[in-house]
Amino acid sequence: MMRMSSAPAPFTASITFLMIGDPATGCRTLGKGLFIRVPLPAARMITERGGDSVLLIGTHGTVLSTRGQDSLTLNGIMPNDAQRPILHLPIWKKTTLGTPIELFASSSLEHLRQEKPILLMGGVHGDEPEGVRLATDTLSWLKSNTSSGKTICPWIVIPCLNVDGFAKKTRVNGRGVDLNRNYPAKDWSSEARAERYSPGPSAASEVEVQAVVELVESVKPRLIIHCHSWKPCVVGVGSKIDTDRLSRSSGYAGSEDIGYPTPGSLSSFGWFDHKVPVICIEEDDTLKDYDTIWPRFRGGMIEIFEDLSLRGQTR
């Protein structure tokens, strides 16, 4: 335990955020624009009193931290439990080739186990950059609105799942497997109509799919959206209202079937096996201007994330 040899005169500092909790697993933001009275130098004062970590971020980015609320004098706190720090895991998982897969979330994954978040993914197929762009632009909107305290659905975003395929511009992953044929669905099949649709040596043989399955089973999302490109359409099972929102916003046809068998797909695993609604967005793969993607889907995405319902699921 560190203690100061003498008690310096206190000073008043303007604090941008006061967060109580463990910053690694999610903190509770108590207020913004606070004035706090602490002894100098606050960053060096550590006590063992109190149970929560207190993280103070000053108006100019200075980070002050201490433990134990009783060591601080707080003034003018305005409770705001809705705000939480956004989780960013630069290395959520690694592929078989050792490439990091990135994940963002509205709060800690531990906390989201109680929240049934919406799961959004891009880059399932590495040769479909349009899906990565839509996931990334949606993430920007989510981060901005979550940070501002707007009430929206809890969320998880994996901007690019198939990072090895994306780097090589191939549909399959680094081991030559089509991730959207590798899910451990009841209809998984070892047969493939072409090499680019290879389902892998066994169901869930791929690290990327194992990671998604583990995540789905852990947080039990209320809705899964994965972003692709092919012939423009919106294919959804389990939540027609959300399929219609994206169809209406984009002007693309909505349906419950893509028109050909997809054994071992995320839709099979998510909806048909586990009753988690799944939407597959197919952007136009001949698109030249990627800046048009977000404006086209923006309205539907906002409607979806502002709808706080559990989509027919129960807690």
Write the pLDDT tens digit of every residue in 13-33.
333 334 434 344 343 344 433
- Checking if the pLDDT of 257 tops 70, the result is yes
Q: What is the mean pLDDT of residues 212-224?
A: 98
114 or 58, greater pLDDT? 114
- Burial class from Cβ neighbours inside 10 Å (0-12, 13-18, 19+) for residue 49 reads exposed
- Pair type for strands 223-230 and 118-122: parallel
Write the pLDDT tens digit of every residue in 97-117.
999 999 999 999 999 999 999
- Checking if the pLDDT of 167 tops 70, the result is yes
Say if CB 133 and CB 158 are below 8 A apart: no
- Checking if the pLDDT of 218 tops 80, the result is yes
* Amino acid present at 148: S
Residue 53 three-state SS: strand
Token pair for 201: 């040596």
Write the pLDDT tens digit of every residue in 295-310.
999 999 999 999 999 9
Strands of 63-67's sheet, edge to edge? 63-67, 53-58, 10-22, 26-39, 73-75
* Orientation of helix 240-250 relative to helix 293-306, angle to 10°: 150
Q: CA-to-CA distance for 281 and 160, rounded, in angstroms?
A: 15
Q: What is the mean pLDDT of residues 65-94?
A: 56
Least confident interval from 28-37, 159-168, 236-245: 28-37
Q: What is the mean pLDDT of residues 42-49?
A: 29
Select from 136, 139, 135, 134 the least CA-distant residue to 86: 139
Say if CB 50 and CB 71 are below 8 A apart: yes
Q: CA-to-CA distance for 86 and 78, rounded, in angstroms?
A: 20
Q: What is the mean pLDDT of residues 181-208?
A: 97
The residue with tokens 């956004």 is 86
Delimiting residues of CATH 3.40.630.10 domain(s) in the chain: 87-306
Residue 24 DSSP code? T
Select from 228, 244, 245, 219 the least CA-distant residue to 305: 245
The share of the chain scoring above pLDDT 90, in percent, equals 70
- Burial class from Cβ neighbours inside 10 Å (0-12, 13-18, 19+) for residue 210 reads middle
Q: CA-to-CA distance for 240 and 172, rounded, in angstroms?
A: 29
Select from 212, 221, 213 the least CA-distant residue to 103: 212
pLDDT at position 84, please? 54
* Amino acid present at 185: A
Give CATH for domain 87-306: 3.40.630.10
Select from 259, 261, 260, 278 the least CA-distant residue to 269: 278
Least confident interval from 78-82, 117-121, 162-166: 78-82
Q: What is the DSSP string of 240-282?
A: HHHHHHHHHHH---EES--SS--TT-HHIIIIIIH---EEEEE
166, containing H or E segment? helix 163-168
The residue with tokens 């990671």 is 211
Q: What Rg do the C-alpha atoms of the chain give, in angstroms?
A: 23
pLDDT at position 312, please? 73
